[in-house]
Structure 1
Amino acid sequence: MIKIDTKTIVTIGVAAALYGALGFVGIPIGPNTQLKPAIALLAIFSALFGPLVGFSMGFLGHMLTDMIAGWGIWWGWVASSGIMGLFMGLVFKCKKFSIKDGLCNKFHVSYLVITGMIGIILAFIFAAGFDVVVMGEPLDKMKIQVALAIFTNAIVFLGVGVPTILGFVRANKKNNGLKIEE
Protein backbone atom coordinates (compact mmCIF):
# COMPACT_ATOMS: atom_id res chain seq x y z
CA MET A 1 0.00 0.00 0.00
CA ILE A 2 0.94 3.64 -0.33
CA LYS A 3 2.09 5.15 2.94
CA ILE A 4 1.39 8.86 3.16
CA ASP A 5 2.65 10.34 6.39
CA THR A 6 4.11 13.67 7.45
CA LYS A 7 7.62 12.63 6.35
CA THR A 8 6.34 11.73 2.87
CA ILE A 9 4.46 15.01 2.49
CA VAL A 10 7.47 17.05 3.63
CA THR A 11 9.77 15.05 1.33
CA ILE A 12 7.44 15.70 -1.62
CA GLY A 13 7.34 19.42 -0.84
CA VAL A 14 11.10 19.81 -0.51
CA ALA A 15 11.81 17.58 -3.52
CA ALA A 16 9.27 19.39 -5.72
CA ALA A 17 10.71 22.77 -4.75
CA LEU A 18 14.25 21.59 -5.58
CA TYR A 19 13.14 20.07 -8.88
CA GLY A 20 11.16 23.21 -9.72
CA ALA A 21 14.11 25.50 -8.98
CA LEU A 22 16.60 23.30 -10.81
CA GLY A 23 14.17 23.23 -13.75
CA PHE A 24 15.48 26.66 -14.72
CA VAL A 25 19.00 25.31 -15.19
CA GLY A 26 19.76 23.74 -18.54
CA ILE A 27 21.70 23.83 -21.77
CA PRO A 28 19.47 24.51 -24.82
CA ILE A 29 19.82 21.85 -27.51
CA GLY A 30 16.70 22.17 -29.66
CA PRO A 31 13.19 23.61 -29.90
CA ASN A 32 12.00 24.06 -26.29
CA THR A 33 14.42 21.31 -25.22
CA GLN A 34 17.31 21.51 -22.79
CA LEU A 35 19.83 19.21 -21.17
CA LYS A 36 18.63 19.49 -17.56
CA PRO A 37 20.46 18.28 -14.46
CA ALA A 38 17.12 18.22 -12.62
CA ILE A 39 16.52 14.74 -14.11
CA ALA A 40 19.39 13.36 -12.02
CA LEU A 41 17.80 14.83 -8.90
CA LEU A 42 14.47 13.27 -9.90
CA ALA A 43 16.15 9.85 -10.24
CA ILE A 44 17.89 10.16 -6.86
CA PHE A 45 14.80 11.20 -4.90
CA SER A 46 12.65 8.62 -6.70
CA ALA A 47 15.03 5.76 -5.87
CA LEU A 48 15.44 6.99 -2.29
CA PHE A 49 11.77 7.49 -1.46
CA GLY A 50 9.75 5.56 -4.05
CA PRO A 51 7.34 6.06 -6.93
CA LEU A 52 4.82 8.25 -5.05
CA VAL A 53 7.49 10.78 -4.13
CA GLY A 54 9.01 10.49 -7.62
CA PHE A 55 5.72 11.15 -9.38
CA SER A 56 4.72 13.98 -7.04
CA MET A 57 8.17 15.59 -7.19
CA GLY A 58 8.22 15.55 -10.98
CA PHE A 59 4.63 16.68 -11.46
CA LEU A 60 4.55 19.43 -8.82
CA GLY A 61 8.11 20.57 -9.48
CA HIS A 62 7.56 20.91 -13.23
CA MET A 63 4.25 22.69 -12.62
CA LEU A 64 6.07 25.10 -10.31
CA THR A 65 8.72 25.79 -12.98
CA ASP A 66 6.04 26.49 -15.59
CA MET A 67 4.10 28.78 -13.23
CA ILE A 68 7.13 30.83 -12.20
CA ALA A 69 8.47 31.08 -15.75
CA GLY A 70 5.20 32.63 -16.89
CA TRP A 71 4.78 30.69 -20.13
CA GLY A 72 1.72 28.86 -18.85
CA ILE A 73 1.45 25.31 -17.60
CA TRP A 74 2.09 22.72 -20.29
CA TRP A 75 0.20 19.83 -18.70
CA GLY A 76 1.57 17.14 -21.01
CA TRP A 77 5.14 17.99 -20.04
CA VAL A 78 4.20 18.42 -16.37
CA ALA A 79 2.70 14.92 -16.43
CA SER A 80 5.78 13.61 -18.25
CA SER A 81 8.01 14.63 -15.34
CA GLY A 82 5.66 12.82 -12.99
CA ILE A 83 5.69 9.71 -15.17
CA MET A 84 9.50 9.67 -15.23
CA GLY A 85 9.67 10.00 -11.44
CA LEU A 86 7.13 7.21 -10.98
CA PHE A 87 9.09 4.77 -13.16
CA MET A 88 12.47 5.77 -11.69
CA GLY A 89 11.05 5.11 -8.23
CA LEU A 90 9.86 1.56 -8.96
CA VAL A 91 13.24 0.16 -7.86
CA PHE A 92 12.38 1.34 -4.34
CA LYS A 93 9.71 -1.38 -4.20
CA CYS A 94 12.20 -4.19 -4.96
CA LYS A 95 13.01 -6.60 -2.15
CA LYS A 96 16.41 -6.10 -0.57
CA PHE A 97 16.94 -2.71 -2.22
CA SER A 98 17.73 0.21 0.04
CA ILE A 99 19.99 3.14 -0.68
CA LYS A 100 19.89 4.08 3.01
CA ASP A 101 21.13 0.63 4.06
CA GLY A 102 23.56 0.20 1.16
CA LEU A 103 21.62 -2.70 -0.32
CA CYS A 104 21.73 -3.06 -4.11
CA ASN A 105 22.67 -5.84 -6.50
CA LYS A 106 23.01 -6.22 -10.28
CA PHE A 107 19.31 -6.98 -10.66
CA HIS A 108 18.41 -3.71 -8.90
CA VAL A 109 20.75 -1.71 -11.13
CA SER A 110 19.33 -3.35 -14.27
CA TYR A 111 15.78 -2.81 -13.02
CA LEU A 112 16.48 0.86 -12.27
CA VAL A 113 18.01 1.44 -15.70
CA ILE A 114 15.25 -0.42 -17.59
CA THR A 115 12.31 1.10 -15.70
CA GLY A 116 13.90 4.54 -15.78
CA MET A 117 14.40 4.36 -19.55
CA ILE A 118 10.86 3.04 -20.08
CA GLY A 119 9.60 5.95 -17.99
CA ILE A 120 11.58 8.48 -20.01
CA ILE A 121 10.35 7.10 -23.34
CA LEU A 122 6.70 6.77 -22.27
CA ALA A 123 6.74 10.20 -20.63
CA PHE A 124 7.81 12.03 -23.75
CA ILE A 125 5.60 10.05 -26.09
CA PHE A 126 2.70 11.02 -23.82
CA ALA A 127 3.81 14.69 -23.73
CA ALA A 128 4.10 14.83 -27.52
CA GLY A 129 0.75 13.16 -28.07
CA PHE A 130 -0.87 15.53 -25.59
CA ASP A 131 0.69 18.56 -27.28
CA VAL A 132 -0.42 17.46 -30.75
CA VAL A 133 -3.97 16.49 -29.77
CA VAL A 134 -4.79 19.02 -27.06
CA MET A 135 -2.42 21.95 -27.62
CA GLY A 136 -2.43 21.90 -31.43
CA GLU A 137 1.35 21.64 -31.80
CA PRO A 138 2.69 20.47 -35.19
CA LEU A 139 3.60 16.78 -35.29
CA ASP A 140 6.94 17.39 -37.07
CA LYS A 141 8.08 19.77 -34.32
CA MET A 142 7.04 17.28 -31.65
CA LYS A 143 8.98 14.44 -33.28
CA ILE A 144 12.18 16.47 -33.05
CA GLN A 145 11.45 17.72 -29.57
CA VAL A 146 10.65 14.22 -28.24
CA ALA A 147 13.73 12.64 -29.82
CA LEU A 148 15.94 15.32 -28.26
CA ALA A 149 14.16 15.12 -24.90
CA ILE A 150 14.53 11.32 -24.72
CA PHE A 151 18.19 11.53 -25.72
CA THR A 152 19.14 14.32 -23.29
CA ASN A 153 17.18 12.90 -20.36
CA ALA A 154 18.70 9.47 -20.95
CA ILE A 155 22.19 11.03 -20.87
CA VAL A 156 21.51 12.77 -17.55
CA PHE A 157 19.70 9.76 -16.03
CA LEU A 158 22.33 7.21 -17.08
CA GLY A 159 25.38 9.47 -16.82
CA VAL A 160 24.64 11.33 -13.58
CA GLY A 161 21.53 9.94 -11.84
CA VAL A 162 22.34 6.22 -11.81
CA PRO A 163 26.05 6.66 -10.88
CA THR A 164 25.07 9.03 -8.04
CA ILE A 165 22.52 6.52 -6.72
CA LEU A 166 25.17 3.78 -6.85
CA GLY A 167 27.62 6.10 -5.08
CA PHE A 168 25.13 6.62 -2.26
CA VAL A 169 24.62 2.85 -2.03
CA ARG A 170 28.39 2.26 -1.81
CA ALA A 171 28.84 4.99 0.81
CA ASN A 172 26.03 3.62 2.93
CA LYS A 173 27.30 0.03 2.57
CA LYS A 174 30.64 1.09 4.06
CA ASN A 175 28.91 2.78 6.99
CA ASN A 176 26.59 -0.17 7.69
CA GLY A 177 28.87 -1.93 10.16
CA LEU A 178 29.81 1.07 12.30
CA LYS A 179 29.73 0.48 16.04
CA ILE A 180 29.81 2.98 18.82
CA GLU A 181 32.71 2.47 21.17
CA GLU A 182 32.51 3.58 24.76
Structure 2
Amino acid sequence: MTLPRVPAPIVILVMAIILVGGAFVGFQMLTATAEIEEHATCENQTVAAGDPVTANLVSVDVYNGSRRAGLANRVSINLQRRGFLPGQIGNSEIEVESDGVTIVTSEPDDARVRLVAAQFGDVDIIEPAGSAPAENIVVVVGNDTNEDLAKGAPEEVETKTDLTVCIPVAPEVATGSQD
Protein backbone atom coordinates (compact mmCIF):
# COMPACT_ATOMS: atom_id res chain seq x y z
CA MET A 1 0.00 0.00 0.00
CA THR A 2 1.37 3.38 -0.95
CA LEU A 3 0.48 6.68 0.66
CA PRO A 4 -0.96 9.43 -1.50
CA ARG A 5 1.51 12.09 -2.54
CA VAL A 6 0.99 15.49 -0.87
CA PRO A 7 1.60 18.48 -3.13
CA ALA A 8 4.74 20.48 -2.23
CA PRO A 9 2.88 23.80 -1.65
CA ILE A 10 0.75 22.17 1.07
CA VAL A 11 3.83 20.70 2.78
CA ILE A 12 5.53 24.11 2.69
CA LEU A 13 2.41 25.81 4.07
CA VAL A 14 2.14 23.31 6.98
CA MET A 15 5.85 23.72 7.76
CA ALA A 16 5.53 27.53 7.68
CA ILE A 17 2.58 27.37 10.10
CA ILE A 18 4.60 25.15 12.46
CA LEU A 19 7.59 27.50 12.21
CA VAL A 20 5.52 30.64 12.92
CA GLY A 21 3.66 28.91 15.78
CA GLY A 22 6.90 27.68 17.30
CA ALA A 23 8.47 31.12 17.03
CA PHE A 24 5.40 32.68 18.70
CA VAL A 25 5.36 30.17 21.58
CA GLY A 26 9.14 30.47 21.99
CA PHE A 27 8.96 34.27 22.14
CA GLN A 28 6.13 34.05 24.72
CA MET A 29 8.23 31.72 26.90
CA LEU A 30 11.35 33.84 26.49
CA THR A 31 9.68 37.08 27.54
CA ALA A 32 7.38 35.65 30.25
CA THR A 33 8.03 36.73 33.81
CA ALA A 34 8.32 33.88 36.25
CA GLU A 35 6.08 34.12 39.25
CA ILE A 36 8.10 32.95 42.22
CA GLU A 37 6.23 32.19 45.38
CA GLU A 38 7.75 33.65 48.51
CA HIS A 39 8.51 31.03 51.11
CA ALA A 40 9.91 31.49 54.57
CA THR A 41 13.54 30.43 54.49
CA CYS A 42 13.69 29.75 58.19
CA GLU A 43 11.53 29.31 61.25
CA ASN A 44 12.34 31.01 64.56
CA GLN A 45 12.87 28.75 67.54
CA THR A 46 13.59 29.94 71.08
CA VAL A 47 16.05 28.19 73.38
CA ALA A 48 15.41 29.15 76.99
CA ALA A 49 18.21 30.19 79.34
CA GLY A 50 19.78 27.10 80.88
CA ASP A 51 18.81 24.83 77.97
CA PRO A 52 21.42 23.31 75.67
CA VAL A 53 22.25 24.74 72.25
CA THR A 54 23.14 21.92 69.88
CA ALA A 55 24.92 22.00 66.52
CA ASN A 56 21.69 21.53 64.56
CA LEU A 57 20.60 25.00 65.76
CA VAL A 58 23.73 26.80 64.55
CA SER A 59 24.44 28.03 61.00
CA VAL A 60 28.10 28.72 60.28
CA ASP A 61 29.58 30.91 57.52
CA VAL A 62 33.19 29.91 56.78
CA TYR A 63 35.53 32.27 54.91
CA ASN A 64 39.02 31.50 53.69
CA GLY A 65 41.63 33.99 54.85
CA SER A 66 44.51 31.73 53.85
CA ARG A 67 46.45 31.02 50.68
CA ARG A 68 45.16 27.41 50.69
CA ALA A 69 42.46 26.85 48.06
CA GLY A 70 39.35 25.06 49.31
CA LEU A 71 40.15 25.36 53.02
CA ALA A 72 36.87 27.08 53.90
CA ASN A 73 34.91 24.40 52.05
CA ARG A 74 36.70 21.54 53.82
CA VAL A 75 36.21 23.16 57.24
CA SER A 76 32.51 23.77 56.46
CA ILE A 77 32.05 20.12 55.44
CA ASN A 78 33.67 18.96 58.69
CA LEU A 79 31.36 21.24 60.69
CA GLN A 80 28.36 19.85 58.82
CA ARG A 81 29.49 16.32 59.66
CA ARG A 82 29.23 17.38 63.30
CA GLY A 83 25.66 18.56 62.72
CA PHE A 84 26.16 22.30 62.17
CA LEU A 85 24.01 23.95 59.52
CA PRO A 86 25.81 25.19 56.39
CA GLY A 87 26.08 28.90 55.74
CA GLN A 88 28.06 30.92 53.23
CA ILE A 89 31.46 29.72 52.04
CA GLY A 90 33.96 31.95 50.26
CA ASN A 91 37.10 34.02 50.42
CA SER A 92 37.38 36.39 53.34
CA GLU A 93 37.06 40.10 52.87
CA ILE A 94 37.51 40.52 56.63
CA GLU A 95 40.97 41.60 57.76
CA VAL A 96 42.17 39.37 60.62
CA GLU A 97 45.58 39.27 62.28
CA SER A 98 45.52 35.59 63.18
CA ASP A 99 46.76 32.79 60.92
CA GLY A 100 44.53 30.39 62.85
CA VAL A 101 40.77 30.38 63.32
CA THR A 102 38.98 33.66 64.01
CA ILE A 103 35.31 34.06 64.90
CA VAL A 104 33.89 37.47 64.04
CA THR A 105 31.01 38.36 66.35
CA SER A 106 29.57 41.20 68.36
CA GLU A 107 28.38 38.68 70.98
CA PRO A 108 31.39 36.61 72.13
CA ASP A 109 29.49 35.05 75.05
CA ASP A 110 26.67 33.74 72.80
CA ALA A 111 26.23 29.98 73.31
CA ARG A 112 26.40 29.41 69.54
CA VAL A 113 29.77 31.19 69.37
CA ARG A 114 31.08 29.16 72.31
CA LEU A 115 29.93 25.90 70.70
CA VAL A 116 31.58 26.70 67.36
CA ALA A 117 34.77 27.90 69.09
CA ALA A 118 34.97 24.61 71.00
CA GLN A 119 35.14 22.72 67.69
CA PHE A 120 38.51 24.30 66.89
CA GLY A 121 40.23 24.57 70.25
CA ASP A 122 42.38 27.69 70.01
CA VAL A 123 40.27 30.50 68.50
CA ASP A 124 40.55 34.27 68.33
CA ILE A 125 37.28 36.15 68.74
CA ILE A 126 37.05 39.66 67.34
CA GLU A 127 34.24 42.17 66.98
CA PRO A 128 33.23 43.24 63.47
CA ALA A 129 34.19 46.71 62.36
CA GLY A 130 31.08 48.83 61.80
CA SER A 131 28.76 46.16 60.44
CA ALA A 132 25.45 44.77 61.61
CA PRO A 133 25.55 41.53 63.62
CA ALA A 134 25.53 38.45 61.41
CA GLU A 135 22.68 35.97 61.65
CA ASN A 136 25.13 33.08 61.29
CA ILE A 137 28.34 32.49 63.17
CA VAL A 138 31.18 33.87 61.02
CA VAL A 139 34.44 31.90 60.98
CA VAL A 140 37.59 33.02 59.14
CA VAL A 141 40.23 30.32 58.64
CA GLY A 142 43.88 31.32 58.20
CA ASN A 143 47.08 29.70 56.92
CA ASP A 144 47.73 27.74 60.13
CA THR A 145 44.20 26.31 60.34
CA ASN A 146 43.93 22.55 60.55
CA GLU A 147 40.88 21.50 58.54
CA ASP A 148 40.24 18.70 61.05
CA LEU A 149 38.22 19.75 64.05
CA ALA A 150 39.19 19.26 67.70
CA LYS A 151 38.65 15.75 69.01
CA GLY A 152 36.23 15.42 71.93
CA ALA A 153 34.64 18.84 71.34
CA PRO A 154 31.28 19.27 73.08
CA GLU A 155 28.11 18.55 71.13
CA GLU A 156 26.12 21.13 73.07
CA VAL A 157 26.61 24.21 75.22
CA GLU A 158 24.21 25.65 77.78
CA THR A 159 22.88 29.08 76.91
CA LYS A 160 23.02 31.74 79.62
CA THR A 161 20.17 33.82 78.13
CA ASP A 162 17.08 33.16 76.05
CA LEU A 163 18.22 32.70 72.49
CA THR A 164 16.20 32.89 69.27
CA VAL A 165 17.60 30.88 66.38
CA CYS A 166 16.35 30.69 62.81
CA ILE A 167 16.14 27.07 61.64
CA PRO A 168 16.15 26.66 57.83
CA VAL A 169 13.02 25.06 56.40
CA ALA A 170 12.65 23.22 53.13
CA PRO A 171 10.12 24.69 50.71
CA GLU A 172 6.86 22.76 50.52
CA VAL A 173 6.76 20.32 47.67
CA ALA A 174 3.49 19.92 45.76
CA THR A 175 2.03 16.46 46.28
CA GLY A 176 -0.36 16.63 43.38
CA SER A 177 -3.47 16.38 45.55
CA GLN A 178 -6.14 19.03 45.22
CA ASP A 179 -8.12 20.29 48.21
TM-score of the two chains, using structure 2 as the length reference: 0.22
Identify which of structures 1 and 2 has the higher relative contact order when contacts are C-alpha pairs closer than 8 Å and 6+ apart: 2
Instruction: Pick the structure with greater CA Rg.
Output: 2
Output the TM-score relative to the length of structure 1. Answer: 0.22
Q: Which has the higher helix share?
A: 1
